[in-house]
A and B are shown apart, each in its own frame.
Chain A
C-alpha cells in the first residue's frame, strides 16, 4: 500500500514538465525563450543550475552557447540527455549530476558569462540561496550576469489576494494531474542586496507572480547619474486596482470623453543613457500603459509623451490632434537635446497620417524614424538596428482585437441606442439588445470570412445569417404572427446594416465608417418607410 502511494507520488520527468507548464499557465516557456533569445549567443559560456529535463539547455545550445548544466536528480538528467542527443547538441552541452551548493568548489572562478536558474531558488532554503549566490559571484566573468526566473508571492494586498485565489485551485489541480508542485520566493531582492548583487532589470509575468531577475554585481551597475530635471520619472508595468478598473471602463466606453491622460514629457523605461533611443507616443493613458507593458524590462529607452489630447496616436493624427507641432513642442519643452547626445526620434508608424516627418526634420533638425505599428515589435525593431520587417509595418486585425473593438463599440451604442430604448420603449429593449450583441460578436468572429470588401457589403451576408436565425427561431421556438414577422425581419435587416457599416470604423483594414453614412441613412430611411407604410397600406393588424 505504502509503496504504491510512494510510486504514485514519484514524479516522472514528463509529468514534471507538464506540471510546470500548467502551474505557470504556459509562461515558463516564454521566460525560457526570452532567456535563450536575448542572451544565448555563439561562444557564450553558460552555467545552468537545475536544468531539469533540459528544455532551456537545448534552446541555449541551439543558439550557439556552450552550456554546462547541472541537476540533483538523475532521472531528470537522463531525460535531459535524451533531449540534447535528439537535438544533436552534445558538442556544446556538458551535463553533470551535482547539487547546486557545490558549484563554487567544482568550477574555477570567472569561468562563466552567464548563470541561469529557472524555478530552482524557490526550492532552496534562504541559507542555501545566499551560499549559492555568493558562489555565482565568483564564477562570473566581470561582465557576466545571473538570470533567475522564479515564482514570487506578490508583495501587495490586492494582487496577493488575487494570487492566492488563482493559485490554490491551480496547485491542487496540477498536483492531482502530475504530482508536481512548486514553492515561491519571497523578499528575494533584499537577499540580493545582502550579497552585493542587484537586479538590473526584472520582467514580471502573470501579474508579478513569475519574475525573471536579471542580476549583476552591485559594483558593476552603472551609477544612476542625477536625473535631468526635465525627466518626469520612470515608468513601470504595473497591474493595480486602478489600472484594472480603468481597463474595464475603457473596454466599454473608450470612445466617450473625457479620455484618461498621462502627463506629457520625457519618461524613462528601464535605465536609458545619453545614447539610448527616444520613442515618441501620445498621451492617452491606455497607449502609454501598453507601450510600457511591451517594453518594461526588455529595453532601456526614453519615452517622450507628446500631447495627443488623450487620444490614441492613429485617431489623433487623423483628426488633427497629434501633429508635427505637438512633437516639436514635446522635444523642446523636455529639453531632450540636453538629455541625449543623438538627434533621432522614433515615431509610431500609425501617426504618419497626421505628423509631418519632414516638418520635424526641417524645423528642429531631428531625424524621424517610423517605428513598428505594434509596441510589442519595438524590442525586435531596435535590436535589428531600427529595421522593420513587413510584418511590423502592416496592421493586422486578429480575433482578440476584433472582440475588443466590438466591445468598445457596443459600449458606445449601448449609451446611444439601448439606453433611450430602455427609457422610452422598454418592450423593445431586450430583443434589440440581444440582437445587436449577437450580431456584433458574430460579425467580429466571422469578419475575415464574410464576403464583401467593406462593411456595407459585408452587412448583406450578415443580414442573411440574421434572417436565417430568425426563421429558425420562429419555426422551432416561437411562431410569430405575420405582422411581427414582417417587422422583426426589417428590424434585423436594419441592425445588420448598422452593425456591418458602423463596425467598419473599428477595423484598421478598412476605411472609416463615415464612408458608409450616406448609404446607411438611405437604407435606414427606406427600411423605416417600409416598416410603417406597408402594414398601413395593407390594413395589416
Chain B
C-alpha cells in the first residue's frame, strides 16, 4: 500500500514545485532598499538597475526573471521576496 501512495505523494510534490516555479514572482519593497546593489551584482539576466543618485535599485525588467532567487538571498535588507 505504501508504494502507490508514496508515488502519488511524490507526483503531487512535483506538481507543487511546477506550479510554484511557474508562478513565482519577485516582490520588491523599495522603501527597505539601502542601495547595496548585491541584487544587481548577482542577477544573471539583468533584471536590476542601480540608481546611483538615489542609492537604490530599480526592478526594471521583471519579464526577464527566471526565479533563480539569487537577489533574494543576497539582499541584506530583506527587501526582495520571491512568492
Residues of A within 8 A of B (CB): 318, 349-350, 352-354, 356-358, 370, 373, 388, 390, 393-395, 453, 508-512, 514-518, 521
Q: Given the known A-B contacts A349-B44, A373-B44, A394-B45, are A514 and B73 also in contact in the complex, defined by CB atoms under 8 Å?
A: no
Which of B26-34, B51-59, B64-72 is the interface stretch?
Answer: B64-72
Interface of chain B residues 15 through 63 with chain A (CB within 8 A): 15, 17-19, 21-22, 38, 41-46, 63
User: Which residue of chain A has its CB nearest to the CB of B72?
Assistant: A353
Query: Quick check: B76 and A358 within 8 Å, CB to CB?
Result: yes
Whole-angstrom CA separation of A388 from B68 in the bound complex: 20
Which residue of chain B has its CB nearest to the CB of A356? B73
Show 18 A/B contacts (Cβ-Cβ < 8 Å), sorted by A: A349-B41, A349-B42, A353-B73, A356-B74, A358-B74, A393-B43, A393-B44, A393-B46, A395-B44, A509-B64, A511-B66, A514-B14, A514-B21, A515-B21, A516-B18, A516-B22, A517-B17, A518-B22
When C-beta atoms are compared, the residue in chain B nearest to A369 turns out to be B41
Decide: B69 and A518 in contact? CB cutoff 8 A. Answer: no
Which residue of chain B has the shortest Cβ distance to A521 in the bound complex? B15
Chain A residue contacts of B76, Cβ below 8 A: 358
The count of A-to-B residue pairs whose CB atoms sit within 8 angstroms is 69
In the complex, A352→B38 CA distance in Å? 10
Q: Which residues of B contact A521 (CB under 8 A)?
A: 15
A503 to B46, CA, bound (A): 22
A390 and B41 within 8 A (CB):
no
The 9 closest A-B pairs by CB, nearest first: A352-B42, A517-B18, A352-B70, A515-B22, A515-B21, A353-B70, A395-B44, A353-B68, A518-B18
Interface residue from B15, B38, B45 paired with A509 (Cβ < 8 Å): B45
Q: Report the Cα distance A370→B44, complex, angstroms.
A: 11
Contact status A393-B41, CB under 8 Å: yes
State in angstroms the CA–CA spacing of A395 and B43 once bound together.
9
List residues of chain B with CB within 8 A of the CB of A370. Answer: 38, 41-42
Known: A318-B69, A357-B74, A515-B21. 5 other contacts (CB 8 A): A353-B42, A356-B73, A395-B44, A511-B67, A521-B15
- Tell me the complex Cα distance, A370–B43, Å: 11
Q: How far is the CB of A379 from chain B (nearest CB, A)?
A: 19
Question: Which residues of chain B are within 8 angstroms of A453 by Cβ–Cβ distance?
Answer: 63
- A318 CA to B21 CA, complexed, in Å: 12
- A514 near B18 with CB under 8 A, answer yes
Instruction: Give the residues in chain A near B68, CB-CB below 8 Å.
Output: 318, 353
A395-B45 contact given A357-B38, A510-B66, CB 8 Å threshold: yes
Distance in angstroms between the alpha carbons of A517 and B22 in the assembled complex:
9
Residue of B46, B69, B70 near A394 (CB, 8 A) is: B46
For residue A358, which residues in chain B have a CB less than 8 angstroms away from its CB?
Answer: 74, 76
Residues of A within 8 A of B22 (CB): 511, 515-516, 518
How far is B41's CA from A317's CA once the two chains are assembled, in angstroms?
Answer: 17
Using Cβ atoms and an 8 Å threshold, which residues of chain A touch B64?
509
- Residues of A with C-beta under 8 A to B69: 318, 353
Closest to A388 in B: B41
Contact (Cβ within 8 A) A515 B18: yes
How far, in Å, is A397 (CB) from chain B's closest CB? 11
Q: Determine the residue in chain B with the shortest Cβ distance to A354.
A: B73
Determine the residue in chain A with the shortest Cβ distance to B23: A515
- Shortest A507–chain B CB gap in Å is 9
| Most B C-beta atoms less than 10 A away, residue of A353, A356, A390, A510 | A353
A356-B66 Cα distance, complex, nearest whole Å: 19
Identify A512's interface contact among B21, B73, B74, CB under 8 A: B21
Taking CB atoms, residues of chain B closer than 8 Å to A511 are 21-22, 66-67
- Which chain A residue shows the least CB distance to B14? A517
* Nearest A-chain residue to B63, judged by Cβ: A453
Taking CB atoms, residues of chain A closer than 8 Å to B67 are 511-512
CA gap between A358 and B71 in the complex, in Å: 12
Q: How far is the CB of B49 from chain A (nearest CB, A)?
A: 10
For A373, what are the chain B residues with a Cβ–Cβ distance below 8 Å?
44
Q: Which residues of A contact B19 (CB under 8 A)?
A: 518
